[in-house]
Amino acid sequence: MKTEVKEARKSEVKEERKREVKEAVKKHSLLQIAPTIAEIFSIPLKTDAKSLEEVLNFVHKSGIGGNFRVILLVIDSLDWQFFKDFASSLRRMHALASSGLLFKCETVSEHTTPAIASILTGLRPESHGILTENDVGKSGVDSILEILDAHGIKTAAVLEEKGAKPLKGKISFVFPVRDREDILDYDEEVKEKTLLALKKASMIFAHFRAIDRFAHRSLDMREAARFTDENVGEIVNAVAADAAKGVETLFFLCGDHRTHGGMRRGEGGSGSGEREDSVPLIFRIFA
Ligand SMILES: [Zn+2]
């Protein structure tokens, strides 16, 4: 074969692969997180959403043993475009993604409460019925947190008081965080309590809100991004230190919906027109 023909074929194959990857990426959804975690712990979960094959393969290949824990950080309003536009302020998260797996996930709602309920149940809002704060704890659908705890896997949740209350008595460790005007101070407490939860539980869920609050208030998004990234970095440092001592961590981090407020129509950088309804999901193993 002539060199040019070979090269042409090579680039064709490359393009083809790119297309395949893109298509695969498109199919991912936030609904896949709960079934993936359920499968990692070998616990059944009622949902039509498929688990993330790539994550399970990654876990399988890594040969994770018995002494592992799972952490799931939800970063409010961290959407795909924000993740890219503010890359220079989100270095720790980008480092996590490049040393692990990065998925572009379809969102299921524009609002926090139903979005997080979907992340934690693997069900669409119309199926779990948790649409406003008032529905929390009343839907009759258990989240992955309650299900794991019922199977003897010690579970912890770090979240705002009202969301935390219905979990009391249903999971091993509830860390409520009182809402306040100073959202950086709020997130600081989320981080501190997450570091505490790491010492106690095998499944930890935590929800950071600074980026969302800053977007709603039209404040400097770089500050929110940097601050959130530092908090994530401290948690990463803690799990990396634990890994050196033989405690393995499967680390998930994702956004919940597209970025709110003035950020919405792409004022945040390169974007033009409506923002896409997609968020990053990062997965990394510390072992
Ligand atoms: Zn939200």
**DSSP character string of 96-142:** HHHHSEEEEEE-S-SSHHHHHHHHHHS--HHHH---SGGGTTTSSPP
Query: 29 C-alpha to center of ligand 1: Å?
Result: 16
Query: 89 C-alpha to center of ligand 1: Å?
Result: 20
Q: How confident is the model at residue 20 (pLDDT cuts 50, 70, 90)?
A: low
Least confident of 1-10, 36-45, 65-74: 1-10
Q: Look at residue 270 and tell me whether its pLDDT is greater than 70.
A: no
Query: 64 C-alpha to center of ligand 1: Å?
Result: 32
Whole-number average pLDDT of the chain: 90
Full residue range of the structural domain in which residue 239 is found: 3-286
User: Sign of torsion, CA 56 240 214 190?
Assistant: positive
Domains in the chain, number: 1
Query: 74 C-alpha to center of ligand 1: Å?
Result: 9
**How confident is the model over 89-143, as pLDDT tens digits?**
999 999 999 999 999 999 999 999 999 999 999 999 999 999 988 888 888 899 9
**How confident is the model over 68-84, as pLDDT tens digits?**
999 999 999 999 999 99
Specify the CATH number for the domain of residue 126. 3.40.720.10
Query: 196 C-alpha to center of ligand 1: Å?
Result: 24
